[in-house]
Chain A
Amino acid sequence: MTPSVPIELNITSSAKCLAVVRGAVEKMADVEGFGEMDSHALTLAIDEALANVIEHGYEGKDDQPISITLLPVKSADGRPGISVTVRDKGRQVAPEKIKGRPLDEVRPGGLGVHIIKSVMDEVEYSCPPDGGMLLSMVKYVGGDTSATFGGEPKEGQAGGLAQKGE
């Protein structure tokens, strides 16, 4: 059996890079056995995470570093998944303050975190001691988030990585 190999992508905080990352993520999801909508969910979540770093972490500066890692994993019941980290050196925000906004009104902005927490199975933000932010998240094939793509985030979903690691 081929061992899982992590993929690392290093980009600058330019929105031009987003399409390149999406292409790489979709290809890896395909290799790992993701179906179309699971692949889309994973790609969308990473895209939203990078957009948040560009817009908020680096406040639009387009020459700052962002590192993305993608690692094939398996769920407890054996389903394939991909574990993702997004690391930046931008402005730090207390993880408990990173929330999606209510969707009961039509206004632009604030939707990225809602999307991430809705489509990913595990999501955790942290502030590394050497600065910037670290987002760790996992998407498994055929999980609850796959069935409810378009539904509400699961209760207590944020912080799932830490809980599962205990």
Chain B
Amino acid sequence: MKMATNTNNLVKEIRKAPEATIVSLGGDVDLHHSPALHAALVEVAGERPRRLVLDMSGVPYIDSSGVGTFVEVFRRVTAYKGKMVFFGLNDRVRSVFEITKLDKFFVICQSEEQATQA
């Protein structure tokens, strides 16, 4: 099931399936956009999906505020024993996850198919 999107919070599409809720993001995840993105992802996490899958293929750039947003949502999801999984990271975004060591905590997959089964 596809859900409506909000262009202000970088959420381009939300698809809900039994195994996962897949949120497609688009745009730079920076200090300007992170608060609205955080609010949107907290709302999705509040529905306690078994897997919260984040499609990052439309995200060209992320800074530490964006990383902090994902960390905060990750803590919410793991608190109810759900999983948060990423796919579609470009080299720039991946490098920020690596430099902050979050690639060791986050599950990062190559494809949507892998992510929805991770």
A residues at B contact (CB < 8 Å): 15-16, 18-19, 22, 36-37, 40, 44, 47-48, 51, 54-55, 103-104, 106-109, 111-112, 114-115, 118-119, 149-151
Contact = CB atoms under 8 A, between A and B. Distances in A.
A82 to B, nearest CB: 18
Interface in B65-106: 65, 67-69, 71-72, 74-75, 91-92, 95-96, 98-102, 105
Interface residues of B, number: 25
Contact of A37 (B30, B69, B75, B95): B95
A106 B32 contact: no
A51 B71 contact: no
B100 A51 contact: no
Interface of B: 28, 30-32, 61, 63-65, 67-69, 71-72, 74-75, 91-92, 95-96, 98-102, 105
Nearest to A111: B64
Contact of B31 (A54, A107, A114): A54
Contact of B100 (A16, A36, A37, A111): A111
Nearest to A39: B92
B92 A106 contact: no
A115 B99 contact: yes
> Which of B28, B30, B72 has the most CB atoms of chain A within a 10 A radius of its CB?
B30
A146 to B, nearest CB: 11
